Structure 1
Amino acid sequence: MYKLPTTLTEDIAYFGTLIDDFHQGKIEPVKFKGTRVPMGIYEQRKDGTYMVRVRCTGGYISPQQLKQVALTAQSHHSTLLHITTRQEIQIHHISIDQVKTILPELQKVELSSKGGGGNTVRNFLVDVNSGISHTEVFDVLPYAVDLTTKLIAKPDSFSLPRKLKIAFSTSESKADFAVINDLGFIATIKDGKRGFKVYLGGSVASNPTLGWELFDFAPEEELINIAIAAKRFFNNHGNRKNKHKARIRYIFYKEGEEKTKELFFNYYNEIKAKENVVYTPASLNFEYRNPSFAASDVHSSEFELWKKQHASSQKQNGLFSTIVSFVNGNTDSETLLKIAGFASEFGNDVLRFTARQQLQLRNIPEKYLGNVYLLLKELNIPTELPVVIDNIVSCTGADTCRLGICYSKGASLALRKKLGKSKLNLNEVSELQINISGCPNSCAQQIWSDIGFSGRVGRNERMYAAYNVYVGAQKGNNPQLGEAIGTVSAKDLPQFTEDILADYISVKVAHSSFRNYLDANGKDKIKSLVEKYKDIPDFDEDKNYYYDWGSEELFSVANKGPAECSAGLFDMIDVDLNFIKQGFDSLKSETEANKINQILFDIVFSSARMLLVTKGAEPRITAEAFELFIDKFINEGLVDESFKDLVKIAQTNPDTDFSTRKEEIVSLSDAVIKLYEGMDDSLQFKVPSTKQIETQQENPVQEIKTTDVDIRVKDYRGVACPMNFVKTKIELATMKSGELLEIWLDDGQPIQNVPGSVRNEGHQVVSVIQEGLFWKVMIRKKRFSFG
């Protein structure tokens, strides 16, 4: 559908040589990754296992293309094909050598993985009903296809500061993804002329925001000028030093709306004056035909229920679209081969991947809906489930993703099972969307759903899988993002969700929408449910809470992927910070003396433990946390010595009546929180006194004299993530700009994680050398602070 870049054959050949060089050790893994990821090739959680992400603009794929994808997966023994929330398809569980033959096979049918990842122009989202909706202003797919062709032809589309995501919506009332992508276009007509309302800077990732309006109406011929201007503006002003603050929204946050728009329009006006690329939508050569087989005459209540739930009439008279649902977007080559064969009977405009990880069949004459139904039954694809269950979205999570914290697919399956057995009339809530992400990165767009979850680390005496809860995203007119409402354990997520649905269904007749329900008293109800599920049993009482859904191992973040050390560090701090805040909230309503005393003790404990990770300290038992806090914070003058008595009492006599010391406990927690708020990027604190603080060294520093420079050496073998990174960060904080630090790391997760996290801090990784069973990493401290 889109036209492949003229350089693609050369790109594929070059990547093949890089694979060979990688095997021969001629290029470093980091350099190889820098080329591999922009080509849409990601390493999965299991080392040496990869997936290929195939670009499908607006989810469009022809039956012939789908057949080739399935055959390619089959011939390379891939057991998993996955539909993404950006309307693409991924071929999983392949080796890097297999990529050399997979990419040319995709190219034969005009498909490419280039731009599937990395700092590139990513796959375009398009309203899945574009072209068939009764309410659309006009079909936007031709515009998305031509814009894809033009942008991916340019080399600078693959070397941006960060990813650039673009989306098209068919009307303001259906303005779903256009307002939450970096660049969004909403179809509009003014004075009989086609055009777009344009948004810039939207995102549902960290520090999310709706986009800022650039144009209330831009004529269609201005589309390419706007897109080129946005890309050029981003290329020149995006933060290349800190990938965590590199997306377009951070330019708005830094410069403000007025200045950022001024910068954009400088590029736009210059392009119009000097280049002025006239834009015309692509001419899509669709073919429609009647199938060679006869229509199946199906008469059953099950068929009628499926038709009511999953089939929709199109604006084209007599034609219907249907949804084929896959659990978590996962399927296999055999299933897709049969669907491709069936779809090919109706032409080449029959298939769309949806942003809810499903497959849409479109342009099906009504009399052939029975054939669709029988095909699904043959493929063992459930046809009887309520829509709200079929519509549950989950990212791949910790099953295969290197950044995953929680097994989101396992949580999704547990939720599906729970709701599948529910006695609730779930057909009353078909419009609700539930999204689950395995980490805060928002691949499942949890903050853009009615009920959303993002994986995080929960902790009491042990770590456990948990989820932040978001509710109430509003799409279409007057859009708004979902609101954070609290945290629940992964174990309780299914029952917690059913409880929300039960309450909503019980009062639904009084509310026009889920958003209206929330604004009435639904939000308070959900907060009370969060409170209901906040207490997590001890490990000895119920071990199930400490195993994630779908995992047979105790919950851990030890296998998280590269460059995520610092994220894990702050996640650990947030656990105690949130507990302190929640503890004081609980005290406002708690009246039972024993519970009040326990809350106060827990606040003291969380205050003591909260910042220990910044000192490389990891207490194994409760008493040790208090001892380390006294040693590393009170004795060093970071926290006032007047709190030492309180902390010692908590350490030695936790059953003491703490109610008489409530004000002192409040002061202690305030002191720790203020210390945290003043912490800099090197984990150093603003000292509240004139006392000189000397960094405590856990291991003796070896000084190695070279010909012209001193190199400080630290041995972190045997130190697990993220503590090895914390210790590295502490050591760097004691050094001057430009000085060299050599750290020794174990093979496996330490060498995979720490160098990337060091780079994210702005330091230079000079060399990475393996010495037997461990690695030597040379780091040059950054010469200036990154903003």
Structure 2
Amino acid sequence: MADNLIEKRVEEYLRQAPDASQEEIRQFRELVEKYFLGELDPNEFKARRLHMGTYGIRATQDIHMMRIKIPMGKLTPEQLEALADVAEKYSKGVGHITTRQAMQVYWVPTRESAYVMARCAAVGLTTREACGNSVRNVTASPFSGVDPAEAFDVTAHAAAVARFFLRNEVSQKLPRKFKIALESSPDRDLARTAIHDIGAVAEVREVNGKKQLGFRVYAGGGLGAAPMQAILLEPFTPVEEFLRTCEALVRIHDRLGNRKSKAQARLKFVVKKLGEDAFRKEVFSEREKIRPIAYPEMTIFETDEKPPKTEGIVPVVDPGGNFARWKVTNVISQKQTGFSCVAIRLRLGDITSEQMRGLAKVVRKFCGGYLRAAITQNLVLRWVRDEHLGALYRALEGLKLAEADAERLLDVTSCPGAETCQLGISASRGLARALEQKLREAKLYGEDIDAIRIKVSGCPNSCGQHHIADIGFFGGAAKVNGHLAPHFNLLLGGRTAEGVAEFGKPVLKLPARRIPEAVIQMLTLYRKERLSEKESFRTFNERVGLEFWKEKLQPFATLPDFEQSPEAYRDWGAETDFSLAGMGPGECAA
């Protein structure tokens, strides 16, 4: 009976979906049936389901994490409600915003994965090519179109790129995944363009007295176990040539990428093998073979978003609570006078179904439906009238979405880690929770340390972007006193700027349970030994060097005897002894 009901709902949602989505979801349902009948090789099914955004979950069989693409992070209230539905039905009522502006839901049975696809397709979202060796979700600054520092709004351009590559035969069977990011504001680089296969930064030039829109195009960046900074491919690519340039880069990756070794299959290794000049020559030669691609969106200069009409909102001057702090840390003025963006801090990127539904109502009421997801695992409301900030705070407070300190020290980024990922070695989310809790208890606040960013990954692959954090950690394991214990490797000094990716330098490996006190000691030493209050944490690190930290943090590299303190050998959040059971081959490159 339940299966029949799900089938009926799938068909109901498919009737509301685009034709292309209807066809591919029906085909996927047929694949699922063949798989369970034993008519389809499991490895072939794995590759096919990954192409449709459906991952395996650690220590499970035929239960999945599903990733839903949110191009540019742009969400409507209706889409948020659809995501709330699937999270409530399968994912223990929680959706997870990723570091690439997508949402992940968990614990979806194979036979019901088509329901998630259909529910999302009915509101214009897709899981297709969210995983696998294809062009992944196209990301962009969540402030594009409203940023006072931007060259021009890149939202429409990013949407054109996403639409162009979706289902495009040129990007269906690449050697490895391919990531594209667009940035509207060169001085801010919120899209982290230097760590992408293609990073495009908006620029406006004047040609014969007319404005010419274009991009500085970077190529061949990436994180993972072998992080590399993107090279400048071209200092100015006119917008009319941008799609053709992107296709040329994808074709070069397809033709020259390493198909024998997935560990060396990203575009960055093609750049490394050929050298920068030869790589550029290959790309430009390939571009000449491609016919011009006409997309009218490529000429758009300003956002097409209009100031919302809001009715029935009573201004609240002082809503109480933590409003003053929230206004400082979470509210960003738009370039449009009288309007602001508001960052909604999601701890570890998590948001409940109830919160999503409530937020959809808030977005409709306060900002005309304008909402973006950010690569910092937060959400951004746009077009909030300044006089409505107090009332908005009160509404968000009722949803438990009025946390201050967005994009600050306490706002720790983390990948899913060993909780669900087959590659996860240690519990990155558990450590992130512990770090926030212990930092709060230590009352470590202040402008001098607020800008320090902490990022955590459960393995070396950098889904938590630990390489580009001021303080980064990636998971590992080591034996201490004869017992296996979860550890994290500490990196210091990572950052990005336009065209720049400085990767954190390794310091030492620390037991997971000692890390919060080690970080507290680091911040305390920084405040005590800096030359002045104006010396930033980054400058301090560069001055004192890695040996300073190795010496100061060495006491935190030990654990008490196991018999004396067995809990010290457990992962954060775990009630049993640590082990590597449940790990398996990752599916990112399957």
Query: How high is the TM-score relative to the length of structure 1?
Result: 0.68
> What is the aligned-residue identity percentage?
29
**Residue equivalent to 1:130:** 144
Give the Cα separation in 1 of the matches to 2:168 and 2:531: 51
- 1:227 is matched with which residue? 246
2:174 matched to which residue of 1?
160
Q: Secondary structure at the match of 1:168?
A: strand
Alpha carbons 2:489, 2:508 under 8 Å: kept: yes
Q: Is the 8 A contact 1:233 1:267 kept in 2?
A: yes
1:97 corresponds to 2:111: yes
Change in Cα spacing, 1:532 to 1:276, as seen in structure 2 (3 Å) is same
Equivalent in the alignment of 1:493: 515
**Structure 1 counterpart of 2:222, which letter?**
S
Aligned-partner Cα distance in 2 for 1:382–1:422: 22
Q: 1:203 aligns to what SS in structure 2? A: coil
Q: Identify the range of structure 1 (133-142 vs 407-416) with the bigger mean alpha-carbon deviation.
A: 133-142
**Pair 1:23 & 2:36 matched:** yes
SS in 2 for 1:173: coil
Distance 1:514 1:280, change over 3 A: farther
Hey, what does 2:53 align to over in structure 1? 40
Give the 3-state SS of the residue equivalent to 2:106 in structure 1. strand
**Superimposed CA distance per residue, residues 55-108 of structure 1 (whole angstroms, 9 cap, x where no aligned partner):** 111111111211122123334574221000001111222212221222112111
1:241 pairs with 2:260: yes
How big is each residue's C-alpha offset from its partner over 1:665-690, in whole Å with a ceiling of 9 and x where there is no partner? xxxxxxxxxxxxxxxxxxxxxxxxxx
Give distance in 2, aligned partners of 1:560 and 1:444. Answer: 18
Contact kept? 2:430, 2:573, Cα under 8 Å: yes
Counterpart of 2:360? 340
Q: Which has the higher contact order (CA 8 A, sep 6+)?
A: 2
**Equivalent-residue separation in structure 1 for 2:280 and 2:463 (angstroms):** 28
1:480 maps to amino acid: E
Distance 1:9 1:410, change over 3 A: same
The answer for the alignment partner of 2:400 in structure 1 is 380
Q: Name 1:146's counterpart in structure 2.
A: 160
Counterparts of 1:575-654 in structure 2, within 5 Å, are none
Structure 2 equivalent of residue 415 of structure 1:
435
CA deviation digits over 1:132-185, x for unaligned, max 9?
111111111111011111111412322111000011122332235111101110
Residue type of the partner of 2:245?
I
Name the CA shift for 1:426/1:50 in 2 (closer, same or farther; >3 Å).
Answer: farther
The question of whether the paired residues in 1 share the 8 Å contact of 2:367 and 2:381 is answered with: no
CA-atom RMSD in angstroms: 2.3
- Residues 437-492 of structure 1: CA deviation (Å, up to 9, x unaligned): 00111101100111111101222422211111111123225542222222111111
1:182 pairs with 192, 197, 203, which one? 197
Corresponding residue number in structure 2 for 1:258: 277
Instruction: Tell me, yes or no, if the aligned pair for 2:271 and 2:279 is still in contact at 8 Å.
Output: yes
2:568 aligned to 525, 545, 568, which one?
A: 545
- Could you report, residue by residue, the CA deviation over 1:726-756 in whole angstroms, capped at 9, with x for unpaired residues? xxxxxxxxxxxxxxxxxxxxxxxxxxxxxx9
What's the CA shift string for 1:762-782, capped at 9, x where partnerless? Answer: xxxxxxxxxxxxxxxxxxxxx
Query: CA offset at residue 509 of structure 1?
Result: 4.0
Q: Return 228-237 or 545-554, whichever deviates more.
A: 545-554
Report which of the two structures shows the higher radius of gyration computed on alpha carbons. 1
Instruction: Name 1:201's counterpart in structure 2.
Output: 220
Residues 741-752 of structure 1: matches in 2 within 5 Å?
none
1:396 and 1:40 map into 2 onto residues whose CA distance is 16
Change (3 A) 1:6 1:241: farther
Q: Which structure 1 residue ranges, 5 or more long, are not aligned? A: 565-755, 761-787
2:488 counterpart residue number: 467
Size of the aligned set, in residue pairs, is 561
1:251-300 residue CA offsets vs partner (Å, 9 max, x unmatched): 122232233232222212222xxx12244426675454233332341413
Q: What does residue 752 of structure 1 align with?
A: none
- In structure 2, stretches of 5+ residues that fail to align are 1-16
CA distance 1:512–1:152, change in 2 (3 Å): farther
User: Deviation at 1:6?
Assistant: 5.6
Task: Tell me which moved more, 155-164 or 440-449.
Answer: 155-164
- After superposition, where does 1:37-116 map in structure 2 within 5 Å? 37-47=50-60, 48-76=62-90, 78-116=92-130
Provide the C-alpha distance between the structure 2 equivalents of 1:278 and 1:386, rounded to a whole number of angstroms. Answer: 39
Does the aligned pair in 1 maintain the 2:161–2:243 contact within 8 Å? yes
**DSSP-derived class of the 1:306 partner:** helix
Shift of 1:432: 1.7
- In the aligned structure 2, how far is the partner of 1:134 from the partner of 1:318? 13
Any conservation in 2 of the 1:386–1:430 contact (CA below 8 Å)? no
Whether the 8 Å CA contact 2:195–2:501 is kept in 1: the answer is: no
For 1:462 and 1:243, locate their aligned partners in 2 and report how far apart those are by CA, in whole Å.
Answer: 33
- The whole-number CA distance in structure 2 between the counterparts of 1:322 and 1:522 is 37
- Show the counterpart of 1:212: 231
Distance, in Å, in 1 between the alignment partners of 2:531 and 2:183 is 29
SS for the counterpart of 1:558 is coil
Secondary structure of the 2:175 match is coil
Kept in 1, the 8 Å contact 2:490–2:509? The answer is yes
The question of whether the paired residues in 2 share the 8 Å contact of 1:119 and 1:162 is answered with yes
Per-residue CA deviations over 1:22-44 (Å, capped at 9, x if unaligned) read 22222222111110011111121
Give per-residue Cα distances to partners, 1:347-369, cap 9 Å, x unaligned: 55521111111111111001111
CA distance, structure 1, for counterparts of residue 586 and residue 55 of structure 2: 15
- Helix, strand or coil for the counterpart of 2:268? helix
